[in-house]
Chains A and B, each alone.
Chain A
Amino acid sequence: MTQLTNQPVVSLDAVSKSYGRETVVSDVSFNIQSGECVVLVGHNGAGKTTLMKLMLGLTRPTSGSVEVLGGNPAFGKAVAQHKNLGYLPESVALYEAMSGREVLAFFARLKGVSVVDYEQLLETVGLADAAKRRVGTYSKGMRQRLGLAQAMLGNPRLLFLDEPTTGLDPGLRHQFYELIEGLHEAGATSLISSHALSEVEARANRFIIMKSGVVIASGTLDELYLQAALPVRLKIAVAPGLAGSVAERLGSEINISAISDTTLSVSCFNGDKMSLVRRIGELGDLVDDLQIKPPKLDEVYSHFMNRELS
């Protein structure tokens, strides 16, 4: 997307956070490079929100170190850096008695953003018509959009988005990801926490999977496939009545999950995939079509979750 500089925008080193006896985040380390879009995945209470709070300086780590935009965010020392930062909290709380425009104007003034810019943002998130209404009368989706607008004030270099698409309808979700993409093209970095795996699958550079405060896996989607060693599924379409003979010719060692008159569903490990494809190719005219389906992020996620259980 953009050129990656050496200095990470966010850097966590062996970060742990406990409230009393309860440990919410345990020994978490990762870097986020400039321009990256990283998605935090995990169940409720996995520590995603706590991580964001640590990065915002809302709370301090019990041990380890957090660095954001080149400084320690803890307790007001790096407040000036917040000018370059956008945050959308989970189920965002905004000033109910104020109108949408007033809320955005207030936040814009705190960030030193001009009037034109926030009026434009209202337009972008589709709240221009409701701008004069009290936030208290807004629907869940409208609040979320207003929350998004405030996070994008002043074209921040770094975005923390906690469950950004909850409450948005599919059209708005799409629009939201387009907005984020636009910011990325301008060089922004973002960290998004999400449950909606199918949504973020195609959009993120990297995933960090968390469970009970621990990072259990991280990497690009491809790296995660390899780590998970989940089977790849192949769907072979054949001429009517030939499925049985195709199966025979592929040999006994392949794993057939379903067979019908015209289709054959086969799965194999990623390493065996190419040799299997070659053998299918040798079948010539017998095969009408071939679809290769890599595992979905959902499956990768549940694989890592279950692995931790056993």
Chain B
Amino acid sequence: MKMLWTLALKELRDGFRNRWVAAAIIVLGILALVLSVLGSAPTGSVRVSELDISVISLASLSVYLIPLIALMLSYDALVGEFERGTMMLLLAYPVTRWQIIMGKFLGHVMILSIAIVVGYGGTIVALTLVSGSGTEGWQAYATMMASSLVLGAVFVAMGYLVSVTVRERATAAGAAIGLWLVFVVLYDLLLFGVLTMDEEQQIGQQLFSMLMLANPTDSYRVLNLSLFEGISEAAGIAGVASEAGLSGTLLISSMLAWIILPLVTTLLVFQRREL
């Protein structure tokens, strides 16, 4: 446990040193600030709280941004150390390979947590204090923050898998972008296309649910946009989750599986790897 902590702390320090943490906080903070301020305009007389609006806009954008940040943190984590030669030295120390993976994971998740808590959380707390608006809907906002962290962890784990399988850092960067495109953009585009063409409704409720669960970014979207009643109405996708039979637990479990699976695979590949 002490080993894990030492390894995680190193990643965290690296994150602070190379301004990663600061950059992520600023990006997420500005995003939260702009969307909350802009978002408060159209609420008008509708019975939607400002926080709910913030959740909708923030969640819609986080789906793109959080995976990107997570992948940028993680794609280099292993291949970079192989390429520079520091892994050889690290492995000559009394650390096991799983400790190295888990230590890095812990460190990177801590970086994401800080960025999300300070960037998203800090901004909204400051805004609430300044404007004196209500805290109605804070549960949805908290859920959005927590699930953003889980989404980030998913892509950190996926980034490791890329990082342990390729031979060069440049390849890892390319593969990470590819991963992002597939999970964040192409999957939904394809699904949307298929659903539009599917006039005879061959894709049933069940298949649709499966497809939502199969992609962690969609799980995240459904979780944040349609699980809370006020939000799902405002987001225009009322009842999607309940009709599709997707509960919060199921969605979170699917995302957790998307963390564990790549992490375990990374470890197995790393164990076999010869330096």
- Interface stretch, picked from A86-94, A122-130, A299-307, is A86-94
Q: Using an 8 Å CB-CB cutoff, how does the interface string of B84-102 with A read, 1 for contact, 0 for none? A: 1110110111111100000
Contact A106 B10 (CB under 8 A): yes
Contact B85 A58 (CB under 8 A): no
B residues apposed to A, CB below 8 Å: 2-3, 6-7, 10, 13-14, 17-18, 84-86, 88-89, 91-97, 271, 274-275
Q: Which residues of B contact A95 (CB under 8 A)?
A: 86
State the CA gap A93–B84 with chains docked (Å).
Answer: 6
Nearest chain A residue, comparing its CB with the CB of B83: A93
Closest 7 CB pairs of A and B: A93-B85, A87-B92, A59-B274, A82-B94, A58-B275, A110-B93, A109-B6
Which residues of A, 77-133, contact B by the 8 Å Cβ criterion?
Answer: 79-83, 85, 87, 89, 91-98, 102, 106-107, 109-111
Known contacts A97-B14, A106-B6, A109-B6, then 7 further A-B pairs from the complex at CB < 8 Å, ordered by chain A residue: A59-B275, A76-B271, A81-B94, A82-B93, A89-B92, A93-B88, A160-B92
State the CA gap A107–B96 with chains docked (Å).
Answer: 14
Nearest chain B residue, comparing its CB with the CB of A49: B88
Number of residues on chain A facing chain B (CB within 8 A): 32
Nearest chain B residue, comparing its CB with the CB of A87: B92
A residues apposed to B, CB below 8 Å: 53, 56-60, 75-76, 79-83, 85, 87, 89, 91-98, 102, 106-107, 109-111, 150, 160
How many inter-chain contacts with C-beta < 8 Å in the A-B complex?
Answer: 68
Contact B92 A85 (CB under 8 A): yes
Contact B95 A94 (CB under 8 A): no
State the CA gap A94–B81 with chains docked (Å).
Answer: 10
25 contacts between A and B (CB under 8 A): A53-B88, A56-B92, A58-B92, A59-B275, A76-B96, A76-B97, A76-B271, A79-B94, A79-B95, A82-B92, A82-B95, A85-B92, A87-B89, A87-B92, A89-B92, A93-B85, A93-B86, A93-B89, A97-B17, A97-B18, A102-B13, A106-B6, A110-B3, A110-B94, A150-B89
State the CA gap A98–B92 with chains docked (Å).
Answer: 19
User: Taking the nearest CB of chain B, how far is it from the CB of A116, in angstroms?
Assistant: 18
Contact A56 B94 (CB under 8 A): no
Q: Which residues of A contact B86 (CB under 8 A)?
A: 93-95
Q: Which residues of B contact A76 (CB under 8 A)?
A: 96-97, 271
State the CA gap A92–B14 with chains docked (Å).
Answer: 20
Tell me which of A58, A83, A106, A150 contacts B94 (CB under 8 A).
Answer: A83
Nearest chain B residue, comparing its CB with the CB of A76: B96
Q: Which residues of B contact A85 (CB under 8 A)?
A: 92
Contact B88 A58 (CB under 8 A): yes
